[in-house]
Amino acid sequence: MFEQRSMIWDYLVFIIFVIASTFVALYSKFFGPKEKTKADFVFAAGRVSMGAMMLSIARGTLGVRSFLGFPSELFYRGSTMWETLYGMVLAYPIVCFVFVPVYFSLGITSVYQYLDLRFKSRLVRCLASGTYIVRQLLNQGVTVFTPCVALNTIIGVPYWVSIFGITIVSIIFTVMGGLKAAILADVMQGLTMIAVSVAIIIQGSIEAGGVGPVIRTNVDGGRLNFFNLDMDPTIRVTTFSALVGQLFMSLSIFGCQQNFVQRYCSMKSQKQVKKTLMCNIPVITVLFSLSWVVGMVIYAIYATCDPLSSGYIRNFDEILPFYVEDRFSAMPGILGLFLGCLFNGALSLNVSNLNSLATVTFEDFLRPIPALKGLKDKHQLYAIKAIGVVYGFVIMGMSFVVSLLSGVIESSMLVTSATSGPLLGVFLLAMLIPCCNWKGASVGVIAGHLTTLWITFGSLYVDKPPEEFLPLSTEGCTNETFSQLIMEAGGSIGLSMERKVLNLTEITTVEPTLASQPDLFTQIHSISYMYYSLIGCVITVTLGWIISYFTASPSDQYDENLVHPLARSIANYFPGKKRLYNDKTAAGEGKSVDDDKIPTISASSLERTHSASSTAYSQDVPIESEVYSTKL
């Protein structure tokens, strides 16, 4: 009876929170500005404020797993992964000054259209967009399933109900709200996440005796282990691998991923994009660090009685839901707000990615089909929404598969890291290597994928030492340690401890199986996944550059605006013949080309104003008043 009485307000708050989120899409559809074109749906037609865009980009960066995963990471492994913030922050100015100037003047709907423009190759474009689609589908299956674990553990909602609920609401958003609804959902979820995190930090700090005791407890427990300068590439994460690995992954995400570039192109000017990204650095720093501080507070409370070792949770990712259930059970509605935050986090990310996945699929795979080339803008919008609905159900199916497996979250992280490098590499080849052609780009990206995937899957078959946690303690566990709700659900603390200690003994007594001098195969496949993005990017760029140099031909010409201005300037100092570009001239003065083979870019001005009714985003048809000629 205690549990039922205490949970009724949480159920109510959770339901209200989900309904409020759904109302955002309904308001956008029936009361907000109408979507008249595909640009309105895909880019929100520039009607989103800079503050909302900043919070949306930050939430899209962190995701739901960071909200649950960072506290448990600090509690059981320490703060080294916190230092990935260095690479993430460093990526923002690079994206501002390398990627944005190239993208913003093109008038593209899919970021992978740029590769088609640059290399005049649909193969390169489809390799990149296919990588994005596979990666996002895998990640979204995990993202949708993640809050379902907490919902099932805390309030007993079956997995299928949670997965089906997130899918249906996501589809409603996708059909009715477009990108603007996704951004508003990000804002609502982001503000709620901040409120919940701050509440946990304040409550935990008070219980622990203040900020000072929290910090001292974490230092004494070895949790604040910053600046690990060990250069061994087989260590899971060090300061160096956190910086370099996250930098390359962040550049791939911020600079080459459709859902982020889509947000950049929805803004009014390039200046606003740069301002938004640079101002987002303190925002992402605070949001990223909040979850780690939450982990510090939780460790300060449970330092002498670990819930995992005492048998009250089944895996370390449950530590945050357990803490909220334990410490906030006497505050009606807080647990419901926490669960609603998780639910909405998965929801907003799912909506954003459904929008982007549908756009990429239509633009890169379906639109080139002859039967679909003549579709009106309105019909293209309907097609994108229909594809989004299909992807919603595909992700739902993948979430059900995830619920039957174990260790999928770690596998998803490995896949993301493995695919980030080649994707980033092909964009760097396009923007910064003027001599690169489609042959080098396609071979480079394929080789990068094969290499990183070979390392990734090979690591699953290499004998490794058992995973080690930082020291844990149950010495302070008593029948008064946890709340009445936890004790009634879990029974005697002594019995739970006895059961769990046996399991821990079995784990910690396993002997390492690595040889004292591992062979080359073992060494390669023991490399930390933090380096996978670096390896994939280096292989893609190096091989792509070499092959392009030896396979260059006059047909490799392209418009010079498709390469970063700095790269064009530097290229003039390299030995060899001067790079040939296509030059746009007045109609009739140059040699025309096949319109279907070379899509036209928009005006080369880097500062342009978006019009709500503009169709520049939705069509990559040639500009009739311009043809191309060749010059040195």
Span 164-180, average pLDDT: 74
CA separation for the pair 358, 337 (Å, rounded):
31
pLDDT of 584 > 70? The answer is no
Q: DSSP string of 499-543?
A: HHHHHHHHHHTPPP---SS--HHHHHHTS-GGGHHHHHHHHHHHH
Residue ranges making up the domain that contains 75: 1-473+529-537
Q: What is the CATH number of the domain that holds 178?
A: 1.20.1730.10
pLDDT of residue 37: 52
Q: Is residue 597 part of a domain?
A: no
Give the residue from 246, 243, 239 showing the smallest Cα distance to 533.
246
CA separation for the pair 126, 225 (Å, rounded):
43
Cβ neighbours of 611 (radius 10 Å): 13
Over pLDDT 70: what percentage of the chain? 73
Q: How confident is the model at residue 538 (pLDDT cuts 50, 70, 90)?
A: very high
Q: Which of 217-226, 314-323, 369-378, 513-522 has the lowest mean pLDDT?
A: 513-522
CA separation for the pair 135, 534 (Å, rounded):
17
Q: How confident is the model at residue 310 (pLDDT cuts 50, 70, 90)?
A: confident
The residue behind tokens 């997995």 is 159
Q: Is residue 46 part of a domain?
A: yes
Q: How confident is the model at residue 191 (pLDDT cuts 50, 70, 90)?
A: confident
Give the residue from 233, 259, 227, 37 showing the smallest Cα distance to 140.
259
Q: What is the number of structural domains in the chain? A: 1
pLDDT of residue 416: 73
Q: Is residue 70 part of a domain?
A: yes
Q: DSSP string of 274-297?
A: HHHHHHHHHHHHHHHHHHHHHHHH
CA separation for the pair 256, 132 (Å, rounded):
9
Q: Each residue of 448-507: pLDDT tens digit?
A: 999 998 998 888 777 776 667 888 888 888 877 787 777 766 543 443 444 344 344 333
Q: Is residue 99 part of a domain?
A: yes
Q: Is residue 464 part of a domain?
A: yes
pLDDT of residue 399: 83
Q: Is residue 28 part of a domain?
A: yes
Which has more confidence, 627 or 446?
Answer: 446
Q: DSSP string of 63-112?
A: HHHHHHHHHHHHHHH-SGGGGHHHHHHHHHHHIIIIIHHHHTTS--SSTT
Span 292-301, average pLDDT: 96
User: Cα dist. 143→22, 129, 407, 488 in Å?
Assistant: 19, 20, 14, 31
Q: Each residue of 249-289: pLDDT tens digit?
A: 999 988 998 778 877 777 778 888 888 889 889 988 988 89
Q: Which of 8-12, 125-129, 617-621 has the lowest mean pLDDT?
A: 617-621
CA separation for the pair 284, 44 (Å, rounded):
23
Which has more confidence, 520 or 587?
Answer: 520
pLDDT of 590 > 60? The answer is no
pLDDT of residue 28: 58
Q: Is residue 214 part of a domain?
A: yes
Q: Each residue of 402-443: pLDDT tens digit?
A: 666 544 456 566 667 878 999 999 999 999 999 999 999 999
Span 586-593, average pLDDT: 33
User: Cα dist. 278→102, 260, 282, 291, 553 in Å?
Assistant: 17, 15, 8, 22, 40
Q: Each residue of 88-125: pLDDT tens digit?
A: 999 999 999 999 888 877 767 678 889 999 999 989 99
Q: Is residue 58 part of a domain?
A: yes
pLDDT of residue 404: 63
| Residues 6 or more apart in contact with residue 150 via CB below 8 angstroms | 68, 318, 321, 339, 342
Could you tell me the sign of the dihedral formed by the alpha carbons of 33, 36, 41, 43, in that order? negative
pTM: 0.80
